[in-house]
Amino acid sequence: MNCFEGKAEISEFLDGELADSNSLAMKEHLKTCSDCQRLADEFLSLKFDIEQALNSIPIPLYLEERILISIHLEHKAANKQAWVTGLFLIVLGIPILALFSPILLSSLRLFNKTLSVFIHTWLTLLTIAVQPSLGLGITLMLAIIAGLGVYSLRALLKGFQADEVLS
């Protein structure tokens, strides 16, 4: 390794980011080159000085208190917002519900009928096609698959919320 290469790679060497073979070559070079050794010493001392300098940055007076107050205010504002939104939805929802209640009722009735027909057909098919115990097994398996589906969907949505912090 020559001085030109040594000086270019000295930061990587000091940060432990140089490949093993280059690191050995650098160590050997530093033993014989006072110029590069001096640069390495200066960079090392700079590393220490930077840490010390940043650790000496004064913290503004009562900063913690101001942070806590701002969080408290934000929390209070968010709570108020949630109440207002909830109230608004209720006020808006009642007339809408009243207006559409006959349609909603017929939809619910239709849903109920469809569901009972579906369950009835499913049970009849199971009883005709397979033995009752096997039919119960298949039904249970389908229920587990549906449960797993719901669980996966929740996990997926939870992941989306966490991303907000890392953005």
Partner 1 sequence: MITTDLELIEQVRSGNEEAFARLVKHYTPYVYRTAFAFLHDEHESEDVAQEIFLKVYRSIQELQDILAFNAWIKRITTNSCLDRLRKQRPTPVPDHQLNQIMGKNSQKGEQLLEIKEAISQLIPEYREALILREWQGYDYQEIATLLSIPLGTVKSRIHGARVRLRKILSE
Cβ-based nearer residue to partner 1, 10 or 30:
10
Q: What CA–CA distance (Å, rounded) separates 11 from 42? A: 11
Cβ-based nearer residue to partner 1, 78 or 105:
78
For residues 3 and 37, the answer to whether their CB atoms sit within 8 Å is no
**Six-digit token string for 15:** 């940060």
Q: Which residues contact 29 (CB under 8 A, 6 or more apart)?
A: 1, 2, 3, 6, 36
Give 143-148's long-range contacts (Cβ < 8 A, gap of 24+): none
> Least distance in Å: CB of 56 to partner 1?
5
Cβ-based nearer residue to partner 1, 63 or 91:
63
Report CA-CA distances (Å) from 74 to 25, 29, 69, 71.
57, 58, 8, 5
> Least distance in Å: CB of 68 to partner 1?
6
Q: 57, 91, 145, 150: which one contacts partner 1 (CB under 8 A)? A: 57
Compose the 65-104 pattern: x for residues touching partner 1 by CB under 8 A, - for all others.
-xxx-xx--xx-----------------------------
User: Is residue 164 part of the contact set for partner 1 (CB under 8 A)?
Assistant: yes
Q: Which residues contact 9 (CB under 8 A, 6 or more apart)?
A: 18, 22, 26
State which of positions 1-40 bind partner 1 (CB under 8 A).
8, 10-12, 15, 17
Q: Which residues bind partner 1 (CB under 8 A)?
A: 8, 10-12, 15, 17, 42-43, 46-47, 49-57, 59-60, 63-64, 66-68, 70-71, 74-75, 158, 161-162, 164-167
